[in-house]
Amino acid sequence: MPVTLTSLDDVKFTVDKEVAERSILIKNMIEDVGESDSPIPLPNVSSAVLKKVIEYCEHHRNDPVQVQDETDDPRKRSNDIEEWDMKFMTVDQEMLFEIILAANYLDIKPLLDVGCKTVANIIKGKTPEEIRKVFNIVNDFTPEEEAQIKKENEWAEDR
Amino acid sequence: MATSGTTHALDLPEICALIAIHLTKAELGECILVSHQWANTFRPLFWRTMLVPRHKVALCRDEDLARHGHHVRILAAGRIQQSSPFDQASVCSLQHLEVSTCGSNDEPDNGLGCLPAIVHRNKTSLSELHWMCFGWDMKLNKPYRIWPEIFLGLERLETLMLSKWTISIDDFLTILKACPSLNTLTFEATEDLEDLSPLPSNSNVSNSNSNKIRRGSKMIDVSAQDRPPLFQHQGVHTVHYIGHAMPGYLRHLPKVQTLHLQNLTHGNLSTIPDEIRQYCPEIASLHILTLCSNPSRFLALVDSIHTLRSFQGRVPSEAMQDFLEMVLAKHAESIETLCLTEAESDGLRFNVWRFLENCPRLTDFQIPYKLEGSLLEASSTVAVPTGFTSSYFSSPRFLRRRPYEPTKPWVCQDLSKLWLRIKDMDIQLMETIALDLCVDRLIPLTEKVPKMASGGGSSSSYQYQQQHQTQGRVQSVGSLVGHHAHHRHGYGHGHGGARAHSPLERLIVEKLSGLKKLSKINIGSGWYDLPEMKD
């Protein structure tokens, strides 16, 4: 059964119900609305981003639904991102963050996790200056402030 | 970070928290140094968890904690003495606290130092506390006596672990009354002040009418009206005893569902079975990670459980037969998890298949003993009268040796994890069984080749290789199949395997492929993950 989604810029996407329901937000909307052909409006998501999100949901349509476990530590799950997901996430920075925002809004936990893991991997192993370069951030610390923070961090780090 | 008026992902704290989960403390430290905005975002995440090793406590700086202490939620503060950098106004939102103090009879504060101040300051947020004591009270010849008043006001405390303390029943009641939200209790190397449990009598009848208690080495008569009304905590559902069991506590915990016993000295279960029988009808899960010095006490413990859902751990080898009979007789309908730890004894003679035939809720079944492939079992026509254990009927004249044949279908349709070992079973066959199951799962029903052709189960997967290899389907099954495909090519032909399958082996494969929810299997050569069944 097909479902129609409308993006922020009024572009319509038709997908299978099973694919759309990877988003818990959409799943709940469908349940509330019941049997209806009217398109589901997603005013927070642009068409470019929605296209990517749908691509992800199509590829992962058969994945088992992750059971919410309070004791589940995401670090304990596999640390490797799947090859397909890695390729999927090779996008410019702006799109990466837009996908994360969309996954958060649409409540697609696996996509959100992959996105955040990808950002974490970008940050890992970089000095503050390198991080600034990647994300185009201006250093607004005075040297005294920097020295202060370095001292604080020193003893607070784990063994 | 946000260039226009729209939100950037890094502006949302919940997203930053998700990113921070994958970063080490050092990496979070680097993030703080990027810019003011990043500092504001990542600093709470950096300071959230403080695990300070003892040798570093001296380096903790008060000024830093004064500034950032309010971010700390999880703190392992090492040893608390007269003063601690964590004893300050900013450290007031702790959720999880691990500390140790040095017991003392000489100090006016009993060695507690500033701990009461810290705990009091965090009483509205604290939900987990681990408190260990150093030292040994020479007067009591026991660990130091705990100071239960520290728990007053800890209304949100849910998880409590106490190590190396002496806790009298009155102390324990003070703690229970002060902490209505408690649900998990762990006592490690902790002792009762006095043994208040009634003397065990010769029969197994419960001692509720006994009015004698032991104080020191004497028995004292206590008439019913002298004893205070029984306070019972309605929240605690899990109790761990490590090193030493205090059965007297259990009568105050009627809602316990899970009991862990670990490394008990001398394997002494004491009067736990009697307490459970009388006061704790809801216990459904047992984890026994301890030797039991007395097999009949072990059996009494299992017998005291009203409805057993989960058993994990060690069974004394002398009690194994009776234990398994008891579980089957009393708890076949309710048992979901039965996981025994490996022990030295071999050649377990019990018809383990009966569990699979009679236990509909079984989901996790692990018996890592080498089971006899044919069974010396009690003749099924001889009923076991009450009062006798089945071991009586293990004497030779009642036994016959027969191979396992299914008398009933297997009812455990929800079984998802299985570990069985059959004595003298061929290693190659064991791998074949697991492999066959994997392959079985991946073929849609319509394309299945009829199984059990001459040569046994392995021929089906061989034929599958033949039919689909060119279509590249084999690749999706993973490297294990690829390895075995080459391996089996060496043996060649539709008969597969080095020898014909015995009826038992064929049976196992057939039965196992009927278990749709089976996801992990170990038949003696290691764990295999089975793919999900295709509809």
Q: What is the per-residue pLDDT for A11?
A: 92
Counting residues of chain B whose pLDDT is more than 70, the rounded percentage is: 71
Contact B23, A120 (CB under 8 A): yes
Contact B285, B364 (CB under 8 A): no
Q: Tokens 């997908």 identify what position?
A: A15
Flag the least confident range among A12-16, B274-278, B316-320. Answer: B316-320
Instruction: Kindly state the tokens that stand for A21.
Output: 């329901």
Under the banding of pLDDT at 50, 70 and 90, the label for residue B193 is confident
pLDDT of A129 over the 90 cut: yes
Q: How does pLDDT run across B208-247, given as a tens digit for each residue?
A: 444 555 555 555 555 555 566 889 999 999 999 999 999 8
Mean pLDDT score, B323-327:
92
- Residue B494's pLDDT is 36
Give chain A's length: 159
Instruction: Please give the Cα distance from B43 to B26 (Å, whole number).
Output: 12
Write down the pLDDT at residue B475.
Answer: 31
ipTM entry = 0.89
Residues 6+ apart with CB under 8 A from A79: none
* Residue B464: pLDDT over 50: no
Q: Which residues pair with B289 in a beta bridge?
A: B262
Structure tokens at A96: 């990466």
Spatial separation of the C-alpha atoms in residues A137 and A127, rounded to whole Å: 13
Residue from B427, B414, B388, B406 nearest B517 by CA: B414
CA distances from B332 to A10, B276, B336, B508 (A): 59, 20, 9, 21
Average pLDDT over residues B243-266: 93
Identity of the residue in B21, B27, B51 whose CB atom sits nearest the CB atom of A123? B27
Contact B493/A at CB under 8 A: no
Phi-psi domain of B343 (left: phi exceeds 0; alpha: psi -120 through 50; beta: other)? beta
Given a cut of 50, whether residue B1 has pLDDT beyond it is: no
Residues of B in contact with A155 (CB under 8 A): 56, 59-61, 64
Please tell me the predicted confidence (pLDDT) of residue B75. Answer: 93
Q: Between B53 and B419, whose confidence is greater?
A: B419
User: Is pLDDT at B485 greater than 70 in this prediction?
Assistant: no
Sequence-separated contacts (24+) of B81-86 with Cβ below 8 Å: B81/B113, B81/B114, B82/B113, B82/B114, B83/B113, B83/B114, B84/B57, B84/B113, B84/B114, B84/B118, B85/B57, B85/B60, B85/B61, B86/B60, B86/B118
- Give the tens place of pLDDT for each residue, A64-88: 776 655 445 555 455 678 889 999 9
Q: Which residue of B has its CA nearest to A64?
A: B532
Give the pLDDT score at B399: 54
pLDDT for B496 equals 39
Q: How confident is the model at residue B11 (pLDDT cuts 50, 70, 90)?
A: confident
- pLDDT tier, B65 (very low <50, low <70, confident <90, very high otherwise): confident
Please give the pLDDT value at position B162: 96
A23 within 8 A of A45, measured Cβ to Cβ: no
- Partners of residue B401 on adjacent β-strands: B376
CB B293 within 8 A of CB B267: yes
Higher pLDDT, A67 or B449: A67
Span B431-446, pLDDT tens digits: 777 777 777 777 765 5
Q: Do A75 and B22 touch (CB under 8 A)?
A: yes
Interface of B with A in 2-61 (CB under 8 A): 7-10, 12, 14-15, 18-27, 29-36, 38-39, 46-47, 50-51, 53, 56, 59-61
Confidence (pLDDT) at B483: 41
Say whether pLDDT at B396 is over 60.
no
Mean pLDDT of B68-74: 92
Question: Would you call A157 and B59 a contact, using CB atoms and an 8 Å cutoff?
Answer: no
What is the per-residue pLDDT for B409? 83
Chain B residues in contact with A75 (beta carbon < 8 A): 21-22
Query: Considering chain B, what is the average pLDDT of its residues?
Result: 78
Alpha helices in A60-136 (DSSP H): 83-88, 93-106, 109-123, 128-135
Site from A70, A95, A116 to mutate, B interface, most B CB atoms within 10 angstroms: A116
Instruction: Tell me the backbone φ, ψ of residue A108, rounded to 5 degrees.
Output: -115, 90
**CB–CB of B51 and A126 under 8 A?**
no
Is residue B211 within 8 Å of residue B224, measured between CB atoms?
Answer: yes
Vertex B285: Cα angle to B283 and B289 (nearest 5): 120
Whether the pLDDT of residue A115 is over 90: the answer is yes
Q: Do the Cβ atoms of A155 and B64 come within 8 Å?
A: yes
Question: What's the pLDDT score for residue B471?
Answer: 37
Strand A12-16 and strand A2-6: the pairing is antiparallel
| Burial (Cβ within 10 Å: 0-12, 13-18, ≥19) of residue B88 | middle
- Average pLDDT rounded to a whole number, residues A14-20: 91
Of B402 and A98, more confident: A98
Across the range B161-177, mean pLDDT stands at: 95
* pLDDT (mean) for B277-306: 92
Between the CA of residue B68 and those of B43, B63, B91, B124, B410, what are the distances in Å?
Answer: 8, 9, 8, 19, 60
